[in-house]
Structure formats: structure tokens, C-alpha cells
Amino acid sequence: MTSERLLDYIGQIDDSIIVEADAPLTTSKLSRRTWIRWASLGAVVAACLLIVIPLWLQQTRGNSPIDPFEPSNPTVNAEQEPSGSANSSDHNASELPDNDPEREDRPLPATDPSDLPKLAVNTELGTYGFEGYLAYDVSELQNGNPWTEDNHLTTLPVFTNPNEYDRAGAPVGGLSAQEMLAEVEKVAHLLGLKIASLHTEPALEQHQDIYVATGECHGAKIEVQKDGLVLLTLTPDKAHLAKEIGKLSDYNRFTISFEYLYKAVGGALDSRGLPLPGGYSFTYGASHEQALEITQYLLSEYGAFMGISTPGYDLAADYTYDGVLTRLHTFVFDNAGSLTERILNYNFNRLYFAATESGDLGAISYYNPDLSQKIGDYPIITAAEARQLLLENHYITSVPEAFPGEEYIAHVELMYRTGRLDTIFMPYYKFLVEMPTMELENGLKTFGVFYVPAVQSEFLENLPVWDGSFN
């Protein structure tokens, strides 16, 4: 695909839209890996058309994320080695869980299907561009998804998203101004910080909808957003507080970032994060082996509070438009227990580590959403059945072209969509489909994402049918 053709697609996007990442990290550093999204044509050109087609093939971020936490999460996740036929886990042999089939695939206590309410399928993927990944071959889109096609799962749990957002991604309801201010003070108390000033945005006296409360401390800044997300920024004087990350474990989502000065790298000024010990360099260009070693070290330093017995690693990597393989962050999850438990941990209980251009640690993010609002255990279809639905156009996609045909299906995995527009956390099959008309001049292929609900159609209010529209 030529630059001109790519610009044609970009031109379909509303320039007024402000991009917000639907994946797991929350600062500008963390949210740089998202799908092929553009804030505006000018921004894309300025970025040399960096199609950061996240090899999300994870959730993804997720997808993913979210906000930064969407996880996206979260396909052949670029963050780990592919699972299933295309996915091989990023685990050392000694870390692999017990694969006793009776334990892995033991069904959960069944809910009487007659008691299960029908689910509304979210067909809104936002208006950010389209979700896809750039790679020379689909095998490069690696993730650590524990799901494989050769399983015997018959049901999976479905949950209500405890947070509600409008179509622009802004929280609906949530914490009041007083509650956000109280949470800022609570975080400061937990970490032994003294607040020098406390304010909200907008200011309380403006009597407008307040979306964040901020506490300025010596060497730190605490922000609490309306949906409960906690952002903690530490300067070098207070960077040691990151070791006390476990004190924040009662919060479902938080990010700790490190505010350092800039340093010259290759003739340019790049932001720095927390310096790592000798022998460790967490750069965007870290190899798969280096990323695994660094992530294992960071887990040992910061992840004890999660109580992980069998770590699973997701080591995301994407290609930029000009063919540079880039790894912006990695994440860890607990890969122990039954297959259902491992799938839930992979999608809903993650600890992220963000790289920097200078090789330092940019941020740590924790994603563990509230799953207390369980709707029920729903019967699911197989990957083969989902493939047939894909061929019959029963899919959801933001790719601006029609499904090109069965021969272009490159990979499938099962994952949960956990974006801000997903009011229900339910499983989907995520297909990576090579888009032949979008191959770049340098040989990079575009793998578009096509979703098929994994829940059996009789339990869905609306089985999606692609109508030929883009977003």
C-alpha cells in the first residue's frame, strides 16, 4: 500500500477527535501503543506516518489497554509469543502450569441457561482509525495468551463493566469531587507523602463536572480520576516509593511513572525514566530475549504484592511504518490454575512495565478491574464455529475494507474486549486477517482485526453483521 493510499484512509477520520488509548497504560508514555489511530492528519504526517499497528495481537490493549488501561488491552499479542497454532507462550519450561486436562478444562459450576439474560454485543469500536498490526509475517506478532484451540472449554464467565463511559471515553458518573480529593489524601497517607497543595480540574468554584483531583507533594504528584484511576508521578527523590507499590493494591487500576530530566541520545533529547541496574536496558528496541530477562527482573522487584506463583509474560512488539520493530511495554500475569482462571488472569489481572528510548523504566501500571458484577457462565462456540461466522460476515471490525476471504485468515485467539465502550466484559474470537491491498512498499503486511462473539448466538441480542461501513 502506498503512502497516498494510507493517507486516503487517514482522511476518513474526523480531525477533531482526540485519541485516547484503549489499552492498559495511562500516561502519554504508556498509551503510545494502540491500534492504527491518528489524532489528526497533521499529527500523522509529523510522525512520519508511524502506523503503530500494535501487534496487540494480544489485548491487547488490550486492549488494550484501557484508557491506558485497556488493556487493551490485552491477538497474536505483540506483547507475547502467540498462543495456539500461532501462539507460543513466553514462559520458561520451569514456569509452565500443570497441564492436567481435567484441571485445565474442568467446567465452572453451570448456570441454568434458562436463567441467563441475553447480552448486547458492542459493535462500537470508536472512531479512532482502524485496528491492525504491521509485520512481515504473522508469526512476528507474539503474545502470551494461554488460550489454545485444542481445549475443551464449553462455558466462560461474563461480567458487567463496573465503569460507564460516554462515546468520547469520558466517565459517566463515578467519584464525586469530594471522593476524588479524599482518595488523593488516602494515597498520600499510604505512601507517607505530605500534600503541599490540593486542587481539582476544573476548579471547585467553577461548579462544572470535575474529572480529576490532584495533590502536589514534595517529589511526587498524585492524581485520582473520576473512574477511580490513580496516577502517581515520582521524581528521583521519591523514586524509592515505587518499591512500596503493594500499598496501592486495593486500587483496581493505577500507574506509577518516573519524572526525570532529559538526556541526549543519538543527538536528540529523550525523556528518561527510573535508571536500571547495570546489565539491564529496557529500550523500545529490546530483543525478545532481553525483554523477557528485564521483565523477570522487574517482576521480582515490584510484583510480589500480586502473589504470582507461575508467571506468564506478554512481550509486545510492533513495527512502525518504516519497518522498525518497537517494544513499548511488557506485562506479567499469573499463569496458574485452570484454563479459565488463566484466561481471566491474562485479560483482567496484569502488571505492566513501560520502556523508554533511553533504556530506563518509564512506568509501572496495574490493571485488575472489579469483576464482582458477574452476569453468568455462558455457553461458547468453538474457534471453528467462529471462523464460519466470520465467513458469513457475522463480525465486528474497524478495518476500512471488506473481509478479503478465508485464505487470508492468519491467526485466531480468544480474548475479552475490555475497552471503555464495552459495557459488558464478554469473550470474543479475535481473527488476524492479512489485508492484501494494504501491503506496504517495504514488504510490511497489514493484519486487520475482526471480532466474532464467542458466546453462543441464542444468548445474544444482536449477532453482528458487517454492513460495509467504516467505523
Alpha-carbon gap, residue 384 to 408, rounded angstroms? 15
- Number of Cβ within 10 Å of residue 197's Cβ equals 8
Alpha-carbon gap, residue 4 to 10, rounded angstroms? 10
Q: Is residue 295 very low, low, confident or very high in pLDDT (cuts 50, 70, 90)? A: very high
b/e code 256-291 from CB counts within 10 Å (16+ = b): bbbbbeeeeeeeeeebbbbebeeebebbbebebebb
pLDDT digits (tens, 9 = 90+) for 109-129: 555 777 899 999 998 876 567
pLDDT digits (tens, 9 = 90+) for 216-254: 999 999 999 999 999 999 999 999 999 999 999 999 999
**Which of 302, 271, 267, 303 lies closest to 284 in space, CA to CA?**
271
| Residue 51 in this model has a pLDDT that exceeds 90 | no
**Which of 88, 108, 227, 203 lies closest to 148 in space, CA to CA?**
88
Spatial CB neighbours of 167, under 8 Å, sequence gap ≥ 6: 124, 126, 421
* Global pTM exceeds 0.85: no
Alpha-carbon gap, residue 377 to 298, rounded angstroms? 35
**348, 368 Cβ separation under 8 angstroms:** yes
Alpha-carbon gap, residue 279 to 319, rounded angstroms? 26
Tell me which of 131 and 206 has the higher pLDDT.
Answer: 131
Q: Which residue has the cell 464467542?
A: 454
Q: What is the pLDDT of residue 45?
A: 32
State the average pLDDT over residues 48-75. 36
| Residue 96 in this model has a pLDDT that exceeds 90 | no
| Residue 424 in this model has a pLDDT that exceeds 70 | yes
- Number of Cβ within 10 Å of residue 204's Cβ equals 14
